[in-house]
């Protein structure tokens, strides 16, 4: 049987700009973990510049809780965001050691904060996420091209589902972090569908796909409207195309 065509989307940074919500939730989760009210005033309510600048390096949600904590530490390298991101993995590793935390507990803390925010005021929580301009309509139009679509994200499935539902978006498939790594999920999807494109705003994730033989054939697209690093759009390897908002509006068959 012929496989149905499908386009796979990352969520945060491709469909939704969740930066403000991420900061609020990461800040709250961090404050709960450090458990000291005096820290509350040290973390601003508006998104700090350092958090914004380092966002393109973040892969998993828990890292943002760690970044919030680092903003509390007087001698953290995060005071110099460029230097912090240059050695991002090492700095995160050191920070986990300093705080004596592990990724799993940070992710649980983050998910708990979200769960409570939804229970308290679901409308407010939903409204703290802004879909990128035109993206919702464009995805809905995929129907007209007889193309299915999927979401693969490092957010949890249930929160992503609630947001998609709120935007009237119902993907054929949805995988959160519980489903495994993005390459694993793409391989799984490719068993049943013909993947026409994987749209992501994290270049290194696309490079991983490209370097994974079983899925390296998947057309990879770097969404220019997401959280890109300064040089991400330059010197892209063959196999990764830049997808600008205007390209995205064309039928999938006409994408670069
Ligand atoms: Mg993203």
Q: What is the CATH number of the domain that holds 211?
A: 3.40.50.1000
Q: For residue 241, how far is its CA from the centre of ligand 1 (angstroms)?
A: 16
Based on the fold, state whether residues 164 and 217 are members of the same structural domain.
yes
Interval 65-82 mean pLDDT = 96
Q: For residue 233, how far is its CA from the centre of ligand 1 (angstroms)?
A: 15
Q: For residue 41, how far is its CA from the centre of ligand 1 (angstroms)?
A: 29
Residue range(s) defining the domain that contains residue 249: 4-17+130-254
Q: For residue 38, how far is its CA from the centre of ligand 1 (angstroms)?
A: 33
* Domain end (from 126, 155, 180): 126
* Domain end (from 94, 126, 158): 126
Residue where the block lists tokens 């998910």: 111
pLDDT value of residue 36? 76
Based on the fold, state whether residues 97 and 117 are members of the same structural domain.
yes
* Domain end (from 81, 103, 126): 126
pLDDT tens by residue, 116-165 = 999 999 999 999 999 999 999 999 999 999 999 999 999 999 999 999 99
Q: For residue 12, how far is its CA from the centre of ligand 1 (angstroms)?
A: 4
Q: For residue 225, how far is its CA from the centre of ligand 1 (angstroms)?
A: 10
Banded model confidence at residue 32, pLDDT cuts 50, 70, 90: very high
Q: For residue 141, how far is its CA from the centre of ligand 1 (angstroms)?
A: 21
Q: For residue 222, how far is its CA from the centre of ligand 1 (angstroms)?
A: 10
Based on the fold, state whether residues 103 and 224 are members of the same structural domain.
no
Based on the fold, state whether residues 114 and 204 are members of the same structural domain.
no
pLDDT value of residue 110? 96
Q: How many CB atoms are located within 10 Å of the residue 44 CB?
A: 12
User: Cα 17 vs. chain centroid, distance in angstroms?
Assistant: 9
Based on the fold, state whether residues 102 and 168 are members of the same structural domain.
no
Based on the fold, state whether residues 43 and 97 are members of the same structural domain.
yes
Q: For residue 226, how far is its CA from the centre of ligand 1 (angstroms)?
A: 7
Q: For residue 2, how far is its CA from the centre of ligand 1 (angstroms)?
A: 30
pLDDT value of residue 34? 94
Q: Quote the number of domains for the chain.
A: 2
pTM given for the model:
0.92
Based on the fold, state whether residues 76 and 175 are members of the same structural domain.
no
Q: For residue 55, how far is its CA from the centre of ligand 1 (angstroms)?
A: 10
Based on the fold, state whether residues 174 and 202 are members of the same structural domain.
yes
Q: For residue 180, how far is its CA from the centre of ligand 1 (angstroms)?
A: 16
Q: For residue 174, how far is its CA from the centre of ligand 1 (angstroms)?
A: 15
The mean pLDDT value of the chain amounts to 95
Q: For residue 9, how far is its CA from the centre of ligand 1 (angstroms)?
A: 9
pLDDT tens by residue, 222-253 = 999 999 999 999 999 999 999 999 999 999 99
Based on the fold, state whether residues 136 and 244 are members of the same structural domain.
yes
Q: Give DSSP secondary structure letters for 164-216.
A: HHHTT---SEEE-GGG--HHHHHHHHHHHEEEEEEEES-HHHHHHHHT-GGGT
Interval 165-171 mean pLDDT = 96
Based on the fold, state whether residues 43 and 92 are members of the same structural domain.
yes
Based on the fold, state whether residues 110 and 147 are members of the same structural domain.
no
Tell me the C-alpha to C-alpha distance, in Å, between residue 32 and each of 69, 106, 112, 171.
11, 10, 10, 34
Q: Over 90: is that where the pLDDT of 38 sits?
A: no
Based on the fold, state whether residues 87 and 195 are members of the same structural domain.
no
């Amino acid at each position: 049987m012929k496989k149905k065509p499908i386009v796979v989307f990352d969520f945060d940074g491709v469909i939704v700009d969740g930066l403000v919500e991420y900061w609020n939730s990461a800040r709250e989760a961090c404050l709960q973990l450090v458990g000291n009210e005096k820290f509350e005033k040290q973390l601003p309510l508006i998104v700090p510049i350092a958090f914004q600048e380092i966002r393109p390096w973040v892969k998993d949600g828990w890292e943002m809780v760690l970044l919030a904590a680092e903003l509390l530490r007087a001698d953290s390298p995060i005071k110099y965001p460029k230097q912090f991101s240059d050695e991002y993995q090492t700095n995160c590793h050191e920070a986990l050691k300093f705080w004596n935390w592990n990724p799993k507990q940070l992710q649980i803390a983050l998910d708990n904060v979200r769960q409570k925010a939804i229970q308290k005021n679901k409308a407010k929580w939903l409204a703290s996420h802004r879909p990128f301009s035109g993206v919702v309509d464009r995805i809905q139009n995929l129907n007209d091209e007889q193309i299915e679509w999927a979401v693969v994200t490092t957010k949890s499935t249930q929160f992503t589902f609630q947001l998609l539902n709120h935007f009237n978006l119902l993907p054929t498939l949805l995988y959160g972090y519980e489903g495994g790594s993005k390459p694993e999920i793409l391989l799984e999807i490719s068993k049943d569908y013909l993947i026409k494109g994987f749209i992501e705003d994290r270049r290194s994730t696309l490079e991983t796909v490209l370097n994974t033989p079983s899925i390296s054939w998947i057309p990879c697209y770097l969404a220019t409207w997401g959280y890109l690093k300064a040089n991400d759009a330059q010197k892209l390897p063959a196999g990764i195309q830049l997808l600008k908002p205007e390209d995205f509006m064309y039928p999938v068959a006409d994408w670069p």
